[in-house]
Amino acid sequence: MSSPPVPSIGLRRLAGRMLAAAAALTIGLAASSAQAQETFRVGIVTFLSGPAAESFGVPARHGAEFLIEQLNRGAAPAPYNQVGFGGMRIEPIIVDENGGATKQVQELRNLYQRENVDAVVGYISSGDCLAVAPVAEELKKFLILFDCGTPRIFEDASYRYVFRTSAHATQDNVALARYMRARNINAGTFSMINQDYAWGQDSRSDFVAAMQQLYPQATANADLLPKFGAGQYGTEISALARANSNVIYSSLWGGDLQAFILQGAPRGVFQRSQLVLSAADHVLQPLGERMPNGTIIGARGAYGLMSADTPLNRWFFDGYSQARGGVYPVQAAYRVTQALLGLKAAVEKAMAANGGKKPTPEQLADALRGLEWDSPGGLIQMKLGNGHQAIQTMAIGRTRWDAARRQVVIEDIQRFAAECVNPPANMRSQDWIKAGFPGAKCDTPGN
Amino acid sequence: MAGDTRPVLSARGLAKSFGAVVAAAEVTIEVPAGEKLCLIGSNGAGKTTFVNMVTGYLTPDAGTIELDGETITGLAPRTIARKGICRSFQIPQLCIELTAEENMLVAIAAAEPRGLSFWADPAAGGRDARARELLDRFGIAAMADRPVSEMPGGMRKLLDIAMALARRPRLLLLDEPTSGVSAEEKFPAMDRVMEAVSGQASTIVFVEHDMDIVRGYADRVIAFYSGRVISDGTPDHVLSDAEVKRYVSGGAA
Amino acid sequence: MQLALTILMDGLIYASWLFVVALGLTLVFGVLKILNIAHGSLYAIGAYVAASMVTLFASWGLGGHFALIAMLLAAIGVALVMGPLMERYLLRLFYGRDEVVLLLVTYALFLILEDAVKLIWGVNPYYVSEPYQLFGNVAFASLFYVGYDFALIGLAVVCGIAVWFALNRTRSGKVVLAVIFSREMSASMGVNVDKVHMIAFTLGIFLAALGGAFTAPMISVQPGISVSVIIVSFAVIIIGGLGSIEGAAIGAVIVGLARAAAVHLMPEAELFSIYLVMAAVLIFRPEGLFQRAAARKI
Amino acid sequence: MSRTVLVLVAAGLMAALLLIGLALPRWLLFLVTLAASHGIVSVGILVIMRGGLVSFGQGLVFAIGGYAAALSFTQLGITDVIVLILIGTAAAALVGAAVGPLLARYTGIFFGMLTLALSMVAYGVLIKSPAVGGSDGFNIPRGTLFGVRLEGAGGDYALYALAILVTGIAATAVALHTRSARGLMTRAIHGNGLRVEYLGTSVQSVMAINFTIAAALGGLGGALTIVALGHIEPTFAFWTQSGEFVFVAILAGSHSVTAVFIASLALELVRSFSNLYFPNTWQMALGLFLLAIILFLPAGIGSLWAGRRKASPSSGGETP
Taking only the tens place, the pLDDT of each residue in D97-139 is 999 988 888 877 778 878 888 888 898 889 888 888 888 899 9
**Calpha distance B112→B43 (Å, rounded):** 36
Name the residue among A203, A226, A231, A193 with its Cα closest to residue A51.
Answer: A231
Residue D319 has a pLDDT of 28
Tell me which amino acid residue C208 is: A
Predicted local distance difference test score (pLDDT) of residue A7: 37
pLDDT at D320: 29
Whether residues B78 and B106 fall in one domain: no
Predicted local confidence at residue A306, as pLDDT? 94
Beta bridge partners of A120: A43, A143
Percent of chain C with pLDDT over 90: 31
Q: Using CB atoms, which chains have 3+ pairs under 8 A with D?
A: A, B, C
Pairing of strands A189-193, A247-250: parallel
Contact state of D117 with C279 under an 8 Å Cβ cutoff: yes
**C chain contacts of residue B93, beta-carbon cutoff 8 Å:** none
- pLDDT (mean) for A420-438: 92
Instruction: Supply the pTM of this predicted model.
Output: 0.86
User: Which one of C132, C143, C225 has the shortest CB-CB distance to A262?
Assistant: C132
Q: Determine which of A193-207, A236-250, B103-117, D214-228 has the lowest per-residue pLDDT on average.
A: B103-117
Chain B: residue nearest D3 by CA?
Answer: B121
pLDDT digits (tens, 9 = 90+) for B125-174: 788 898 998 898 888 888 888 899 888 888 888 899 999 988 889 999 99
Distance between alpha carbon D37 and the CA centroid of its chain, in Å?
A: 7
CATH number for position B9: 3.40.50.300
**SS3 state of residue B24:** strand
- Residue A100's pLDDT band (boundaries 50, 70, 90)? confident
What is the identity of the amino acid at C172? S
- SS3 breakdown of chain B: % helix, strand, coil, rounded to 5? 35, 25, 40
Per-residue confidence band for C188, with pLDDT thresholds at 50, 70 and 90: confident
For residue B95, the chain D residues in CB contact (below 8 A) are 187-188, 190-192, 195
| Distance set, CA C37 to CA A201, B139, B159, C28, C81 (Å) | 30, 51, 43, 11, 18
**Within a 13 Å sphere around the CA of D155, how many CA atoms are in the beta-carbon half?**
20
Contact between A154 and A427 under an 8 Å Cβ cutoff? The reply is no
The residue-averaged pLDDT of D226-250 equals 90
Residue C1 clears pLDDT 90, i.e. is over it: no
Name the D residues in 121-140 with CB < 8 Å from any A CB: 127-128, 130, 133-139
C-alpha separations of A356 from A34, A87, A88 in Å: 17, 10, 10
d(C-alpha B101, C-alpha D176), whole Å: 19
| Structural domain contains residue C97 | yes
Q: Which residue has the higher pLDDT, C290 or C126?
A: C126
pLDDT of residue D317: 29
Task: Provide the pLDDT for residue D65.
Answer: 97
Task: Identify the three-state secondary structure at position B180.
Answer: coil
Determine whether C151 is exposed, middle or buried from the number of CB atoms within 10 Å of its CB (0-12, 13-18, 19+): middle
Is residue C239 within 8 A of residue C278, CB to CB? The reply is: yes
B52-71 pLDDT per residue, tens? 999 998 899 999 999 998 99
CA distance A10 to chain C (A): 25
Quote the CA–CA distance of D305 and A335 in Å, as a whole number: 53
Shared-domain flag, residues B65 and B173: yes
CATH 3.40.50.2300 fits A170-305+394-434, yes or no: yes
The nearest CA of chain A is from the CA of C229 a distance in Å of 8
Enter the DSSP assignment of B96. T
**Distances from the Cα of B165 to the Cαs of A113, B157, D177, in angstroms?**
64, 13, 26
pLDDT the model gives residue C275: 78
Closest C-alpha among D291, A49, A47, D276 to residue C116: A49
Give this complex's ipTM.
0.84
Which residue, among C17, C271, C6, has the nearest Cα to A226 in the 3D structure? C271
Task: Report the pLDDT value the prediction gives residue D307, as an integer from 0 to 100.
Answer: 54
Q: Phi-psi bin for C244: left (phi > 0), alpha (psi -120 to 50), beta?
A: beta
Least confident of C27-31, C50-54, C240-244: C240-244
What stretch of H or E contains A275?
strand A274-277
Provide the pairing of β-strand A394-402 with C143-146.
unpaired
**Structural domain includes residue B151:** yes
Residue A64: predicted pLDDT: 96
Q: Taking the C-alpha atoms of A101, D290, A114 and A102 in order, what is their torsion angle to the nearest 10 degrees?
A: 10
**Do residue D6 and residue A103 have CB atoms under 8 angstroms apart?**
no
Whole-number Å distance between alpha carbons of A279 and B51: 72
Question: Are B30 and B135 part of one and the same domain?
Answer: no
Q: D182 or D309: which carries more pLDDT confidence?
A: D182
Say if the Cβ atoms of D258 and A6 lie within 8 Å. yes
* Domain assignment present for B195: no
Domain that holds residue B132: 88-168
What are the residues whose beta carbons fall under 8 Å from the beta carbon of C294, sequence distance 6 or more?
A: C286, C287, D107, D108, D109, D110
- Does B2 or C8 have the greater pLDDT score? C8
Q: Which residues of C touch A (CB under 8 A)?
A: 3, 6, 9-11, 13-14, 17, 114-115, 118, 123-125, 127, 129, 132-133, 137, 143-146, 149, 215, 217-220, 222-225, 227-229, 259-260, 263-264, 267-268, 270-271
Tell me: pLDDT of B1 over 70: no
| Bridge-based pairing state of the strands B203-207 and B171-175 | parallel
Least CB–CB distance from A238: residue in C10, C114, C115: C10
Q: List all chains that touch chain B, counting a touch as 3 or more CB pairs closer than 8 Å.
A: C, D
Put simply, the answer to whether C220 touches A255 (Cβ < 8 Å) is yes
Would you say A201 and D128 are in contact if contact means Cβ atoms under 8 Å apart?
A: no
Instruction: Answer yes or no: is B191 within a domain.
Output: no
The Cα B30–Cα B37 span in angstroms is 10
**Residue A6 reports pLDDT greater than 50:** no
Distance CA A422, CA C228 (A): 36
Residues 6 or more apart whose CB falls under 8 angstroms from that of D197 comprise B76, B77, B78, B81, C298, D203
Q: Is the pLDDT confidence value at C53 over 50?
A: yes
pLDDT band at C126 (very low <50, low <70, confident <90, very high): confident
Q: Which of residues 39-68 of B touch D (CB under 8 A)?
A: 55
Number of domains in chain C: 1
Q: What is the pLDDT of residue A31?
A: 42
* Residue in C99, C114, C275 nearest the CB of D121: C275
- CB neighbour burial string for B68-88, b if at least 16 within 10 angstroms, e if fewer: eeeebbebbbbebbbbbbbbb
Q: How many CB atoms lie within 10 A of CB C62?
A: 14
Helix H, strand E, coil C: the string for chain D is: CCHHHHHHHHHHHHHHHHHHHHHCCHHHHHHHHHHHHHHHHHHHHHHHHCCCCCCCCHHHHHHHHHHHHHHHHHHHCCCEHHHHHHHHHHHHHHHHHHHHHHHCCCCHHHHHHHHHHHHHHHHHHHHCCHHHCHHHCEECCCCEECCEECCHHHHHHHHHHHHHHHHHHHHHHHHHHHCCHHHHHHHHHHHHHHHHHHCCCCHHHHHHHHHHHHHHHHHHHHHHHHHHHCEECHHHHCHHHHHHHHHHHHHHCCCCHHHHHHHHHHHHHHHHHHHHHCCCCHHHHHHHHHHHHHHHCCCCHHHHCCCCCCCCCCCCCCCC
Lowest mean pLDDT segment, chosen from B74-78, B93-97, D304-308? D304-308
Assigned domain for C277 exists:
no
In a domain, C15, yes or no: no
Q: What digits encode the pLDDT tens for the residues D197-217?
A: 999 888 989 999 999 999 999
Summarize pLDDT for A8-49 with one digit per residue, the tens. Answer: 334 444 445 545 555 554 444 444 444 445 899 999 999 988
pLDDT digits 0-9 by tens, A54-73: 889 999 999 999 999 999 99
Distances (CA, A) of D216 to A234, D65, D92, D167: 43, 8, 5, 12
Judge whether B76 is closer than 8 Å to chain C, CB to CB.
yes
Q: How far apart are CA C9 and CA C150, in angstroms?
A: 9
pLDDT at residue D47, as a whole number:
93
What is the amino acid identity at position A130?
L
Work out how many domains chain B is built from and give that number. Answer: 2
State the CATH class of domain A38-169+309-392.
alpha beta
Write down the domain spans for chain A.
Answer: 38-169+309-392, 170-305+394-434
DSSP B16: E
Residue D160, CA distances (Å) to B36, B213, D19, D146, D229 in order: 66, 69, 11, 16, 12
B252 and B173, same domain (yes or no): yes
- Could you tell me which residues are beta bridge partners of residue B21? B18
Positive/negative CA dihedral, D81, D83, D88, D89: positive
How many C-alpha atoms does A205 have within 13 Å on its Cβ side? 14
pLDDT at res. C89: 87
Closest approach of A32 to chain C, Cα-based (Å): 32
pLDDT digit string, tens, across residues A342-376: 999 999 999 999 988 899 999 999 999 999 999 99
B197 lies in some domain: no
- Closest partner residue to C104 (CB to CB) among D108, D120, D246 is D246
Q: Quote the radius of gyration of chain B (alpha carbons, Å).
A: 18
Determine the residue type at B222. I
Residue type, C110: F
Query: Which of A51, A235, A286 lies closest to C263 in CB terms?
Result: A235
Angle at A372 between CA A369 and CA A378, to 5 degrees: 140
Q: Of D103, D319, D70, nearest to D210 (Cα)?
A: D103
From A222, A231, A266, residue closest to C132, measured CB to CB? A266
Q: Is C34 inside a domain boundary?
A: yes
Q: Which of residues 135-174 of D touch B (CB under 8 A)?
A: none
* Strand A247-250, strand A274-277: pairing: parallel
Query: Could you tell me if A242 lies within 8 Å of chain C, comparing CB atoms?
Result: yes
Q: Annotate A213-231 with b (16+ C-beta within 10 A) or e (fewer).
A: bbbeebebbbbbbbbbbbb
With 0-12 / 13-18 / 19 or more C-beta atoms within 10 angstroms meaning exposed / middle / buried, residue C95 is middle
**B54 and B93, same domain (yes or no):** no
CB C167 within 8 A of CB C173: yes
Of A107, A112, A197, which is closest to D134 when you measure between CB atoms?
A197
Angstrom distance (rounded) from CA D176 to CA D166: 15
Interchain pair C270, A225: CB under 8 A: yes
User: In this structure, is residue B198 part of a structural domain?
Assistant: no
Q: Are A372 and A380 in contact (CB under 8 A)?
A: yes
**Direct distance between the N- and C-terminal alpha carbons of chain A, in angstroms, rounded to an integer:** 71
Q: Is the peptide bond prior to A7 cis by the omega test (within 30 degrees of 0)?
A: no
CB contact under 8 Å between C111 and D284, yes or no, is yes
Across the interface, which of B76, B110, B122 has its CB nearest the CB of D199?
B110
pLDDT attached to residue B177: 87
Question: How far is it, in rounded angstroms, from Cα D110 to Cα A159?
Answer: 48
Mean pLDDT of chain C: 85
Amino acid in the structure at residue A396: I
D86/D65 Cα distance (integer angstroms) = 9
> D2-38: per-residue pLDDT in tens?
788 889 999 999 999 999 999 999 889 999 999 999 9
Are the Cβ atoms of D1 and A4 closer than 8 angstroms?
Answer: yes
- Inter-chain contact B82–D199, Cβ cutoff 8 Å? no
Cβ distance A286 to C137 less than 8 Å, yes or no, reads: no
Domain containing residue C164: 24-223
Please tell me the distance in Å from B5's CA to the nearest CA on chain D. 28
Task: Please report the residues numbered 110 through 149 in chain B whose beta carbons come closer than 8 angstroms to any beta carbon of chain D.
Answer: 110-111, 115-122, 147, 149
The Cα A316–Cα A66 span in angstroms is: 9
Return d(Cα A290, Cα C129) in angstroms, integer: 9
d(CA A399, CA A397): 7
